[in-house]
């Protein structure tokens, strides 16, 4: 073998499997998305901040026969995201799908007027700035795929229409930091969609529904697998699929 060839890169090049990165993939919705995309035949990089939890999740899915690998990434940390991008670049030449799933909520039990600025900033670092910095860091690999997909995990709370509609369940929730971060993420989705469309990259936001996860103390009425369905579908859309949209399990959602 030639000394400058990475054996792992050569192996991946021969398989021609589509490559995916899912952030926050060690549990809940992210784990379900990673498993669903691996089941669809893709090779999945499972991103997580906590190495022990991330590697445990990877081993679990590998035990079920799925092609998954762990990548340590803290989406709220510039250096961590840069390191992750460099690690992936050493292994593959192109990234076909990016799912920006990592998210937090600090204000489930705190009223807007009492929420600390530290909690607001922490929420934005993960839910809004995280997808921005990860997308920017992996943009070169996504462009190299020539037909890549980016899925930003938003929320029904990210719809100004739904949170102000008294007939909508989402109007009963009033979370300052989480809601506003998802509204902003929808706008970010549109911005990236406009920029990346000439490269064949489709960028969409997804509302998974009220999923039972640690984020909401498992109070949701959908399983992670049910919530993951729309994200998986949007990650696998064809060339004639939409870009710059906001989608849920019933189709396009209102902004």
Residue-wise pLDDT tens digits, 91-140: 999 999 999 999 999 988 899 999 999 999 999 999 999 999 999 999 99
Query: Within 10 Å of residue 193's Cβ, how many Cβ atoms?
Result: 20
pLDDT digit string, tens, across residues 163-197: 999 999 899 999 999 999 999 999 999 999 999 99
Q: Choose the catalytic residue: 45, 138, 178, 192.
A: 178
Residue 147 lies in a domain: yes
Residue 214 lies in a domain: yes
The number of distinct structural domains making up the chain is: 1
Q: Is 178 a catalytic residue?
A: yes
- The predicted model scores a pTM of 0.91
Within 13 Å of residue 39, how many CA atoms lie on the same side as its CB? 13
* In the predicted structure, residue 151 carries a pLDDT above the cut 60: yes
- Domain span at residue 42? 7-252
Token representation of residue 217 = 């103390």
DSSP 8-state class, residue 188: H
Residue 120 lies in a domain: yes
Residue 19 lies in a domain: yes
Residue 1 lies in a domain: no
Token representation of residue 131 = 């997808």
Residue 2 lies in a domain: no
The residue assigned the tokens 């379900």 is: 32
> Quick one: what percent of the chain has pLDDT higher than 90?
84
* In the predicted structure, residue 218 carries a pLDDT above the cut 80: no
Token representation of residue 231 = 């994200």
d(CA 199, CA 11): 26
Question: For position 23, which CATH number holds?
Answer: 3.40.50.720
Residue 113 lies in a domain: yes
Residue 133 lies in a domain: yes
């Amino acid at each position: 073998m030639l000394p400058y060839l990475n054996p792992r890169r050569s192996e991946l090049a021969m398989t021609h499997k589509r490559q995916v990165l899912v952030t926050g993939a060690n549990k809940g919705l992210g784990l379900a998305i990673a498993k669903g995309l691996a089941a669809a035949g893709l090779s999945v990089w499972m991103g997580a901040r906590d190495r022990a939890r991330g590697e445990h999740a990877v081993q679990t899915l590998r035990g079920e026969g799925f092609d998954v690998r762990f990548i340590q990434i803290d989406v709220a940390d510039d250096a961590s995201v840069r390191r992750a991008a460099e690690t992936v670049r050493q292994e593959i030449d192109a990234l076909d799908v990016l799912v920006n799933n990592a998210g937090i909520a600090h204000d489930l039990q705190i009223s807007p007027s009492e929420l600390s600025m530290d909690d607001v900033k922490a929420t934005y670092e993960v839910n809004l700035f995280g997808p921005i910095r990860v997308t920017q860091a992996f943009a070169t690999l996504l462009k190299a795929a020539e037909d890549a997909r980016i899925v930003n995990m938003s929320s029904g709370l990210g719809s100004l229409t739904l949170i102000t509609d008294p007939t909508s369940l989402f109007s009963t929730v009033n979370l300052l930091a989480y809601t506003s971060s998802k509204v902003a993420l929808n706008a970010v989705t549109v911005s990236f969609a406009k920029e990346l469309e000439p490269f064949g990259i489709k960028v969409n936001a997804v509302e998974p529904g009220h999923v039972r996860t640690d984020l909401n103390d498992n109070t949701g009425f959908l399983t992670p697998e049910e919530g993951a369905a729309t994200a998986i579908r949007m990650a696998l859309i064809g060339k004639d699929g939409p870009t710059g949209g906001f989608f849920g399990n019933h189709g396009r959602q209102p902004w």
